[in-house]
Amino acid sequence: MELLLEIIEKGGIVMYPLIILSIISWVFIVERVFNLRLSAYLPKNLKEVKILLQKGDVEGAQKLLQANPDPFSKAFALVIDEYLKGNKSKANLIPLLESELSAVVPQVEKNLMILSAIASIAPLLGLFGTITGLIKVFTAYASVQTEEALRLLSMGIGEALTAAATGLIVAIPALFAYWIFRNMGNDILEKIEREARDLLNMLE
């Protein structure tokens, strides 16, 4: 703890927003690790739904979907409802399905823009700390007393390096997590789209 406080003191005032950004980024990273799963967006009984549709039991498939809490089930249950009402044209069902599933996109991409922003802001804060540290270095040269000049020189260099390093330490995990979760999210959306298209083709 004392070491951490010492590092914060060496890095200057920019260390405080950097620490806050680090905490926020790790909270969102943990949240995405637990919540960004394909099983959260597709029904667990998808195979049973497909079997019922292949058998022509559309109402049975709808009942299974309505019992599920995931957004995919809710969206396709509405599509089946329209189908059972007599609206069997794919030209009408496809836009309805796309409209309902569009609500899934913000859920899949939740908090990713914040991680991206943190990855961009943290190095800039580190650069700002580097500049303030260098200002102290140049101030040292203008000092009248030699001992004071050396002290300010040491403090300025320490602040510059600590701030720059901390900015990168905060930014790198946030940027890495952003791209990992972005790719995972794209895979989930592609899988959802593929499964929705397969189910729609089974409605004859």
User: Do both 75 and 116 map to the same domain?
Assistant: no
Single pTM value for the model: 0.81
Give the range of the structural domain holding residue 87, as residue numbers without chain letter: 39-106
Give dist(CA 142, CA 163) in Å, integer.
Answer: 23
Confirm whether 3 is domain-assigned.
no
Confirm whether 156 is domain-assigned.
yes
User: Do both 33 and 46 map to the same domain?
Assistant: no
Q: Is 12 left (phi over 0), alpha (psi -120 to 50) or beta?
A: left
User: Do both 114 and 33 map to the same domain?
Assistant: yes
pLDDT in tens, 86-116: 777 777 888 888 888 888 888 898 999 999 9
Close Cβ partners of 18 (under 8 Å, ≥ 6 residues apart): 11, 122, 125, 126, 163, 166, 167, 170
User: Do both 120 and 190 map to the same domain?
Assistant: yes
Q: Answer with the one of 87, 106, 125 that is the final residue of a domain.
A: 106
Say yes or no to pLDDT of 7 above 70. no
User: Do both 32 and 117 map to the same domain?
Assistant: yes
User: Do both 90 and 102 map to the same domain?
Assistant: yes
- C-alpha pair distances (Å), 27 with each of 44, 99, 103, 110, 139: 28, 31, 24, 13, 39
Confirm whether 201 is domain-assigned.
no
**Domain count for the chain:** 2
Confirm whether 85 is domain-assigned.
yes
User: Do both 126 and 182 map to the same domain?
Assistant: yes
Confirm whether 6 is domain-assigned.
no
User: Do both 102 and 117 map to the same domain?
Assistant: no
User: Do both 89 and 182 map to the same domain?
Assistant: no
User: Do both 152 and 179 map to the same domain?
Assistant: yes
pLDDT in tens, 135-171: 777 766 666 556 666 666 666 777 778 888 889 999 9
Say yes or no to pLDDT of 1 above 70. no
Confirm whether 2 is domain-assigned.
no
